[in-house]
A and B are shown apart, each in its own frame.
Chain A
Amino acid sequence: MKDFIIPWDDKDMGTPAKEGAPVTLTIDGFDVTVPEGTSVMRAAAEAGLSIPKLCATDSLEAFGSCRLCVVEIEGRRGTPASCTTPVAPGMVVHTQSSKVKKIRKGVMELYISDHPLDCLTCAANGDCELQDMAGVVGLRDVRYEPGRNHFEVRGATGANPEYIPADTSNPYFTYDPQKCIVCSRCVRACEEVQGTFALTIEGRGFESRVSAGAMGDDFLSSDCVSCGACVQACPTATLQEKSVIELGTPERSVVTTCAYCGVGCSFKAELNGDELVRMVPYKHGKANRGHSCVKGRFAYGYATHQDRILNPMIRDSIDQPWKEVSWDEALSFAADRMRGLQEKYGRRSIGVITSSRCTNEETYLVQKLARGVFMNNNTDTCARVCHSPTGYGLGQTFGTSAGTQDFDSVEHTDVVIVIGANPTDGHPVFASRLKKRLRAGAKLIVIDPRRTDLVKSAHIKASHHLALRPGTNVAVVTALAHTIVTEGLMDEAYIRDRCDWDEFQEYAEFVSDPRHSPEATELLTGVPAAELRAAARLFAKGGNGAIYYGLGVTEHSQGSTTVIGIANLAMLTGNVGRKGVGVNPLRGQNNVQGSCDMGSFPHELPGYRHVKGDEVRNIFETAWGVTIDPEPGLRIPNMLDAAVEGTFKGLYCQGEDILQSDPDTKHVAAGLAAMECVIVHDLFLNETANYAHVFLPGSTFLEKDGTFTNAERRINRVRKVMAPKNGYADWEVTMMLANAMGAGWTYTHPSQIMEEIAATTPSFANVTYEMLEERGSVQWPCNDANPDGTPLMHVDGFVRGKGRFIVTEYVATDEKTGPRFPLLLTTGRILSQYNVGAQTRRTANVVWHDQDVLEIHPHDAEVRGVKDGDYVRLASRSGETTLRATITDRVSPGVVYTTFHHPDTQANVITTDFSDWATNCPEYKVTAVQVSPSNGPSEWQEDYAAQAERSRRILPAAE
């Protein structure tokens, strides 16, 4: 049996839970009360009785095809399927009458007559519902003689024409039609859970087979996005993880949290000993509700990839090869250098960058290292380059630097605005939940320069796609507000009740100005005025309106202004403070919310409290026994500027690859090269490590305890499922570095760090590991006022008191197109790759995306003589690179698009160092560029590749 660390019930209830008035019925003599609409099958499961089933599972609506779950109901004719029969008051059900038992045995006999009897050598042995059901119904004999079947490779008269060999085209799972019982669970999972509709049943009758895509497709060439929902739904070995085929059935499992995007899916890591066999989405996970995407489900192979560095390394200068040393030597080398730099160049000459990939506890320790050991506030985090405007904008308008809803809220929404986000690629599990709601009738408005999959894909169509020119978000959002205010569509009662009325009037006057009308800004934004007005009316009057946004909002010179504009829209229409509404930033990284919460910013102590506040500093000074610098420290771009100037000399960078992810790569490289001690703490020799003097090997999320906080403020436990291959969890490494510098920290478990966080940070006051163990997860604020946490924010009023309207004047970015650079480049993500690709490039996910490509409109391509698949040179004022072109009308004329997952493309050589006025968040989403045909890699790319090669040399360890 499986050994669950958390003994939550994982039983399959057969059909989904329903909400409704209680109904009482009798099943096999037991009274059971369930909500109206519940199936008899689920009611029986609630009563602790299991009705045999094959085509039913509780993640899918009942289908009624396998006929194994038949029951007898007094007063009804025949033997109805219990999965499709809803309960009725007073119903008397018999699940084990001799009549139904005989039927079930007959059904099973038919199933088995067309199924190979190779259980002992089957990958699903012990984990097969067909096998279980054969046992449950007491099948002892199959009377059918051999005949037409799908499982024999060769029949009596030669090759079996019905036999179809297994489809192994997907890198992570196989489809073996030989074992298929055509229960349609995979097809329904692809439709209902994932929403891709990549699978179907082809043919009819005996010829019915599961088919991926259309005729001639296999799983890889079909629309399949490899989310794994079908594999999970399959009751047999027909759809089976290749890892299970290779390694065998797992014997234990641990519930933990995915370390990819900000959705924060819960997974069961299933293992044999310390060998990870598979990751299975955990059905009680409150963010993902049992669903997953290709990254979390399958792309964990990087954890054991040969490129992983497991021993500490040092070198005197970056032109030398690395030398492997002991932990002690590496740490004292690092500590001596850092202390030396402080003595020579001053206390504020060194700093840290915390990681949004690491746990809350680790992030907290890294900022504590800066504040309590380096004695300065030089701490920043990668949120600087993604969602810092969210923190600022929502803090200013609502009073908290976080999204307002939980993900469940999407099930109650009526109109959704998705702006500057591509959830089907960036936040796939949320996208599936959104698409499910859209299929149920909710309306969608997409504001994006590019035609993303949400705009139109199977069974999904946006009511309005406002394909704006990159960089004009503020103008579009203000024009939406203009329409709402001038047409009187706002929710005045809500505004009077919840918001500052005087500020609203000032704002209303501002947006009513005709220069903000859709007609006035149409030429600028490229959005047809009528379309924009229709979208505004739909959002204002369409019921519960929710706004979801991503980096397409924040990564602009006016990122903070757009966030404020979005908050204004939500307040104007009364859409904050209940289910189904709200303002929801889709966070990029697993713990970017947490790293911001934990005081990673140079001006804020944990809990977003300004470092200038004496009271706040006192709390930490008492807890840490140090004096905290009252002056805010340097942001990442300031650190790099200071490094180039020669005043910033040392950096401890944990789990972030700033060289690849931050804008204007040449400037980043120059800054790093000017430093005298760069300590990189990471899994791999990433691009930043090319400029490092100390490399401290990191641990994966599988190798440590801690917590991640996802985009809905949900604090989820990360559990250690195996020992760190590098010897130490990341929090231990940070502690050892701190202690090498004389800190004297004595944590023995991350739970003690969480105790310190709870003691010092009001929004985490009641969070303990015991509570997380008991409840699974909790959403902050979690304190005496909200002991159960806070799924919805601002329910009875805004956290800051009155919601604040702030005027949003559009100021065009300084990055402008001109004759030399006539196109606008915008950047984004692709489903199979994650961020800089350090992890996903080291998995089989590369079959879907092995290089970054440039999307260009057919018109722009034609005038430049660029053909599909050609190498093109992409140049901006900052630099140039080459990559291959893909010609598509997803982008508008004048706009080109690429991703930044591959270091050999280095899209950030192109991006400029313009940034958000409030938070310095870089303007990744708008760069003026030119595209021209090219023969191959640019000079810079070749130089860079050579330099990277040189700086990654490792000397053989001294014997």
Chain B
Amino acid sequence: MPAQSTSAPQVPVEDLKALIDSQMHLEGPLLPILHAIQHAHGHVPQVAVPLIADALNISKAEVHGVMSFYHDFREVPAGRHVVKICRAEACQAVGAKALADAALAKLGLEWHGTTANGAVTIEPVYCLGLCASGPAAMVDNRVVGRLDAAKLETLLAEAGA
């Protein structure tokens, strides 16, 4: 496993082209293409941008504009697990900020950072729809409510942080 996940691994151009082609039958295929690439490779490498632009006959800038609008499209792969901590009003009102700050301080990360062992990426999220049971978080695709420091620590430990 790479100790650093900040530099993107090489994705073969042929793979990217195949993924792009797989979505071309759709109307408005840009977002499905970005999803398909991210799903297959965990991120959308920069080398994909001109390929997508060429396939859709749009400019690189337009692809970049769309991709950068959505936080979920990554330029580099995330850690093996992604922990998203809610920072929206309801959760903040029940102590989410302090919880998150403590978790970040403990891991020595900024928001969007990944632990040195490549296990966990921490991201902010603005409302998971669990306002009644905050502070809330999401570990990969599983939502978790009523977090406290201990519970969060357990979650992070399980994830390998």
Interface residues of A (CB under 8 A from B): 196-204, 211-217, 222-223, 456-461
Residues of B within 8 A of A204 (CB): 68-69
Minimal Cβ-Cβ distance residue in B for A202: B68
Count contacts between A and B, CB distance < 8 Å: 61
Query: Chain A: which residue is nearest B53 at the CB level?
Result: A458
A204 to B46, CA, bound (A): 19
- Report B-chain residues with C-beta under 8 Å of the C-beta of A458: 53, 57-59, 62
Evaluate contact between A214 and B57: CB separation under 8 angstroms.
no
Q: Inside 8 A of B68's CB, which chain A residues have their CB?
A: 202-204, 211, 215
With A203-B69, A204-B69, A458-B53: A215-B58 Cβ-Cβ less than 8 Å: no
Given contacts A223-B60, A457-B57, A458-B59, 13 further A-B contacts (CB under 8 A): A196-B59, A198-B61, A199-B61, A202-B69, A204-B68, A213-B60, A214-B50, A215-B46, A215-B64, A215-B75, A222-B60, A223-B61, A460-B57
- B33 within 8 A of partner (CB): no
Verify A198–B57 contact, CB threshold 8 A.
no
Q: Is the CB of A200 within 8 A of B75?
A: no
Asked whether A214 lies within 8 Å of B49 as measured between CB atoms, the reply is yes
> What are 23 A-B pairs with beta-carbon distances under 8 A?
A196-B59, A197-B58, A197-B62, A198-B59, A198-B61, A199-B61, A200-B59, A200-B65, A202-B68, A202-B69, A203-B69, A212-B61, A214-B50, A214-B61, A214-B64, A216-B46, A217-B60, A223-B61, A457-B57, A458-B53, A458-B57, A458-B59, A461-B57
What residues of chain B lie closer than 8 Å to A216, measured between beta carbons? 46
User: Does any Cβ of A come within 8 Å of B63's Cβ?
Assistant: yes
Task: Determine the residue in chain A with the shortest Cβ distance to B50.
Answer: A214
Task: Tell me the minimal C-beta distance from A465 to chain B in angstroms.
Answer: 14
Q: Please measure, in the bound complex, the distance between the C-alpha atom of A474 and the C-alpha atom of B59, giving whole angstroms.
A: 35
* Contact, CB under 8 Å: B58 / A459: yes
Least CB distance from B30 to A in Å reads: 13
Q: Give the nearest-CB partner of A200 in chain B.
A: B65
What CA separation (Å) do A737 and B62 show in the bound complex?
58
User: How far, in angstroms, from A894 to B49 measured CA to CA in the complex?
Assistant: 31
Secondary structure class of chain A's binding surface, majority of residues: loop
**Tally of contact residues, B, Cβ under 8 A:** 16
List A contacts of B63 (CB < 8 A). Answer: 214
Report the separation of the CA atoms of residues A199 and B64 in the bound assembly, to the nearest whole angstrom: 10
Whole-angstrom distance between the Cβ of B24 and the nearest chain A Cβ: 14
Residue on B with the closest CB to A190?
B61
> How long is the Cα–Cα vector from A201 to B58 in the complex, in angstroms?
15
The verdict on A201 contacting B65 (CB below 8 Å), with A215-B46, A215-B75, A216-B46 known, is yes
- Residues from 23 to 71 in B contacting A, C-beta threshold 8 Å: 46, 49-50, 53, 57-65, 68-69
A456–B61 CB distance below 8 A: no
A715 CB, min distance to chain B CBs, angstroms: 38
CB <8 Å contact, A202 and B57: no
Interfacial chain A residues near B53, Cβ < 8 Å: 458
Tell whether, in the assembled complex, residue B57 and residue A213 are in contact, meaning their CB atoms are under 8 Å apart. Answer: no
**Bound: A461/B63 CA distance, A:** 18
Contact A211 B61 (CB under 8 A): yes
Q: A456–B64 contact, CB under 8 A? A: no
CB distance from B28 to the nearest CB of A (A): 14
**Cβ contact of B64, chosen from A196, A211, A457, cutoff 8 A:** A211
Q: Are B46 and A214 in contact (CB under 8 A)?
A: yes
Nearest chain A residue, comparing its CB with the CB of B61 = A200
- Which B residues are in CB contact (< 8 Å) with A460? 57
In the complex, A204→B126 CA distance in Å? 14
The residues of A that contact B64 with a CB separation of less than 8 Å are 200, 202, 211, 213-215
Query: In the complex, which of the residues B53, B58, B59, B69 has the most CB atoms of chain A within 10 Å of its own CB atom?
Result: B59
Distance in angstroms from A454 CB to nearest chain B CB is 13
CB distance from A606 to the nearest CB of B (A): 47
Complex Cα distance A204/B59, Å? 19
**Contact yes or no, B65 A202, CB < 8 A:** yes
Evaluate contact between A200 and B57: CB separation under 8 angstroms: no
Cβ of B57: which chain A residues have Cβ within 8 Å of it? 456-461
Q: A200 CA to B64 CA in the complex, in Å?
A: 8
- Flag if A211 contacts B65 (CB, 8 Å): yes
The 9 closest A-B pairs by CB, nearest first: A200-B65, A197-B59, A458-B59, A214-B64, A200-B61, A202-B68, A214-B60, A214-B49, A204-B69
Closest to A224 in B: B61
Q: How far is the CB of A730 from chain B (nearest CB, A)?
A: 43
- Beta-carbon nearest neighbor of B69 in chain A: A204
- Alpha-carbon separation in the docked complex, A214 to B61 (Å): 5
Closest chain B residue, CB of each to CB of A458: B59
Across the interface, name the chain B residue whose C-beta is closest to A199: B61
**Min CB distance, A496 to chain B, in Å?**
42
